[in-house]
């Protein structure tokens, strides 16, 4: 079976989505397909923003496997003409921004004092991260498109269908909001603010509307084109879909109702709404929704300080319909799961490979292997050896697996740097060794005798067998408690990878010394 044939029947979520896009393209007779992601630069970019681009890129890659003859583009759209509603909590010079509330984000000064506006700063940061991951995309600014006239034809179409849009949105609003709602938001010619006022079409063909200024009470007229107005959120989304001919855009579950309403507006404009995908939201450590303005949860920079980008891409690929907490504790598991998926890839058949996340992370060009040493093992090695540089870690790795070098395994070399950083900032501050109980001391004596009887080059499985046998002999009814005790007494943490694997990496002689020190309570001051 070829990859293309396997893709046509694959149950991986990306292929399910890609088949929807292909069916739409064939129905509409489209030779080029437009994928889109949206970003609101009212706060610093966070991982959720990256995740939407990463996931959409994976669907796009799957689409090309299904239909290599068709072209596609990915548009990353910034809603940077939105008015600033509140000052984010996680930025400097908040007072500066407070003076510019309700102005388009591209008219709000940059609190970091590096760019022309707050939106330009956030747009630049987002693009820098997307570029660092090698995404193939086109960046589009709402402000630039509104002001250049690129949206004019579709804005006039919205005005022509003004009442139809009103009929779709008004029933979803409260009585008070209905009185002032309009899909068009005029930009005040004096203050520059985005005005939320009722409008009255005056000359549809010329694109002219009338409104009463909320501050002065003066009746004013303005064009809806050329950047003199912008659209309310749901109408804006629909207008964008129509103007840019978007075929696919995913959105968070919290926007499900907005997707439905924007799709109805798109149809009212005479266009077919795009295919989409509703993903669950990322949560912070307290299970609260990640917010750009709050700055809770992980930033892209933070994840990439402690783990490789491949692990972040894996986290985005897995279970997109499941709400997942996104904080520092998830990083080690994500790294090791990525390593495991890469290691399995070579022995899979074509159909299995298409369900392997590594295929989608690397767009089919999966490395032969990632790392012969897990991230969890490296963290424990740093802990036991008190290593402060990667040369120490490579000394252990060279003994454990001769012939493996930084040159032959560059991914492993990167992991040593990440392990040192992660251990320093998250493991070391929380390490708490405990004293062994009398029963545990007896068991550790037995373990020490068993380990000392092994050949110095015993492998991890052999060592693990003796660790397990010791637990069976002394804690038969609580084997889990035995392994937990090993980590609490010897490494100052409650869990870790297989102890045998750790001991083989650390070295049997050093492991014996560690067991003796834990038995005698000499690690309590560590």
Question: How far apart are alpha carbons 389 and 372 in whole angstroms?
Answer: 20
Question: How far apart are alpha carbons 34 and 496 in whole angstroms?
Answer: 45
Mean pLDDT for the stretch of residues 108-116:
93
Task: Identify whether the C-beta of residue 330 lies closer than 8 Å to the C-beta of residue 297.
Answer: no
Mean pLDDT for the stretch of residues 244-265:
96
pLDDT in tens, 301-317: 888 999 999 999 999 99
Higher pLDDT, 293 or 192: 192
Say whether pLDDT at 238 is over 90. Answer: yes
> How many other CB atoms sit within 10 Å of the CB of residue 8?
15
pLDDT in tens, 451-504: 999 998 899 999 999 999 999 999 988 999 999 999 999 999 888 888 999 999
Domain final position from 319, 352, 368: 368
Which band of pLDDT confidence, cut at 50, 70 and 90, is reported for residue 296?
low
For residues 361 and 507, state if they share a domain: no
Say whether pLDDT at 261 is over 70. Answer: yes
Mean pLDDT for the stretch of residues 343-368:
94
> CB-based contacts of 148: which residues, under 8 Å, 6+ apart?
227
Residue 466 lies in a domain: yes
Residue 107 lies in a domain: yes
Question: How far apart are alpha carbons 286 and 284 in whole angstroms?
Answer: 5
For residues 445 and 312, state if they share a domain: no
Residue 261 lies in a domain: no
Mean pLDDT for the stretch of residues 153-171:
97
Among 46-50, 100-104, 144-148, 181-185, the minimum mean pLDDT is found in 46-50
For residues 337 and 455, state if they share a domain: no
For residues 133 and 26, state if they share a domain: yes
For residues 143 and 94, state if they share a domain: yes
* Structural domain count of the chain: 3
Say whether pLDDT at 286 is over 90. Answer: no
Q: What is the CATH number of the domain that holds 125?
A: 3.40.50
> What is the side-by-side strand order in the sheet with 219-223?
199-203, 208-212, 219-223
Question: Helix (H, G, I), strand (E, B), or coil: what is residue 36?
Answer: strand
For residues 8 and 118, state if they share a domain: yes
Domain final position from 368, 393, 417: 368
Its domain, for residue 391, covers 375-426
Residue 229 lies in a domain: no
Say whether pLDDT at 191 is over 80. Answer: yes
Instruction: Express as a percent the part of the chain with pLDDT over 70.
Output: 97
Say whether pLDDT at 443 is over 90. Answer: yes
For residues 31 and 123, state if they share a domain: yes
Whole-number mean pLDDT of the chain?
92
Higher pLDDT, 26 or 284: 26
Residue 1 lies in a domain: yes
Tokens of 131: 């570029």
End-to-end CA distance of the chain: give it in Å, rounded: 57
Task: Identify whether the C-beta of residue 137 lies closer than 8 Å to the C-beta of residue 74.
Answer: yes
Which band of pLDDT confidence, cut at 50, 70 and 90, is reported for residue 291?
low
For residues 349 and 467, state if they share a domain: no
Instruction: Express as a percent the part of the chain with pLDDT over 90.
Output: 79
Q: What is the pLDDT of residue 431?
A: 87
Q: What is the pLDDT of residue 236?
A: 98
Residue 262 lies in a domain: no
For residues 340 and 381, state if they share a domain: no
Residue 183 lies in a domain: no
For residues 288 and 406, state if they share a domain: no
DSSP H helices, 74-160, are: 94-98, 118-132, 142-148, 152-160
For residues 129 and 20, state if they share a domain: yes
Q: What is the CATH number of the domain that holds 479?
A: 1.10.10
Question: How far apart are alpha carbons 163 and 157 in whole angstroms?
Answer: 12
Instruction: For residue 511, give the nearest of 520, 519, 502 by alpha carbon.
Output: 502
Q: What is the pLDDT of residue 295?
A: 53
Domain final position from 368, 386, 417: 368
Say whether pLDDT at 284 is over 70. Answer: no
Residue 197 lies in a domain: no
For residues 23 and 56, state if they share a domain: yes
């Amino acid at each position: 079976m070829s990859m293309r044939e396997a893709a046509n029947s694959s149950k991986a979520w990306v292929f399910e989505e890609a088949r929807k896009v292909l069916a739409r393209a064939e129905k509409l007779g489209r030779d080029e397909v437009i994928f889109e992601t949206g970003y609101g630069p009212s706060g610093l970019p966070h991982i959720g923003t990256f995740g939407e681009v990463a996931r959409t890129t994976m669907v796009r890659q799957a689409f090309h496997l299904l239909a290599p003859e068709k072209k596609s583009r990915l548009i990353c759209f910034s809603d940077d003409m939105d008015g600033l509603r509140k000052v984010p909590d996680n930025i400097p010079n908040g007072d500066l921004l407070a003076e510019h509330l309700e102005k388009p984000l591209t008219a709000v000064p940059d609190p970091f004092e590096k760019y022309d506006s707050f939106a330009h700063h956030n747009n630049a940061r987002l693009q820098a991260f997307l570029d660092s991951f090698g995404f193939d995309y086109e960046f589009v600014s709402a402000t630039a498109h509104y002001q250049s006239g690129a949206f004019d034809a579709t804005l006039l179409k919205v005005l022509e269908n003004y009442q139809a849009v009103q009929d779709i949105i008004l029933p979803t609003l409260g009585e008070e909001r209905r009185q002032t709602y309009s899909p068009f938001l005029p930009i005040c010619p004096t203050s520059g603010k985005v005005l939320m006022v009722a409008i009255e079409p005056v000359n549809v063909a010329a694109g002219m509307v009338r409104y009463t200024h909320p501050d002065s009470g003066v009746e004013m007229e303005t064009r809806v084109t050329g950047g003199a107005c912008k659209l309310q959120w749901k109408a804006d989304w629909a207008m964008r879909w129509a103007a840019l001919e978007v075929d696919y855009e995913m959105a968070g579950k919290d926007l499900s109702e907005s997707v439905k309403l924007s799709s109805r507006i798109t149809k009212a404009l005479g266009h077919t709404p795009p295919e989409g995908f509703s993903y669950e939201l990322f949560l912070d450590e307290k299970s609260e929704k990640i917010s750009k303005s709050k700055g809770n949860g992980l930033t892209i920079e933070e994840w990439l300080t402690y783990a490789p980008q491949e692990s972040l891409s894996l986290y985005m690929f897995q279970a997109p319909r499941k709400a997942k907490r996104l904080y520092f504790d998830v990083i080690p598991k994500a790294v090791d799961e990525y390593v495991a998926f890469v290691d399995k890839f070579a022995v899979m058949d074509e159909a299995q490979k298409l369900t392997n996340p590594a295929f989608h992370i690397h767009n089919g060009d999966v490395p032969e292997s990632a790392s012969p040493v897990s991230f969890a093992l490296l963290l424990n090695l740093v802990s036991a050896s008190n290593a402060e540089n990667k040369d120490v870690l490579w000394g252990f790795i060279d003994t454990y697996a001769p012939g493996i070098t930084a040159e032959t395994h560059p991914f492993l070399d990167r992991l040593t740097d990440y392990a040192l950083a992660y251990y320093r900032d998250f493991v070391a501050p929380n390490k708490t060794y405990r004293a062994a109980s009398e029963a545990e001391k007896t068991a550790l004596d037995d373990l020490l005798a068993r380990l000392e009887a092994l050949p110095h080059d015993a492998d991890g499985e052999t060592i693990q067998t003796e660790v397990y046998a010791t637990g069976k002999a002394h804690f038969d009814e609580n084997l889990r408690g035995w392994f937990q005790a090993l980590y609490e007494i010897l490494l100052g943490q409650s869990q870790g990878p297989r102890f045998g694997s750790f001991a083989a990496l650390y070295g049997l002689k050093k492991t014996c010394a560690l067991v003796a020190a834990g038995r005698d309570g000499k690690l309590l001051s560590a």
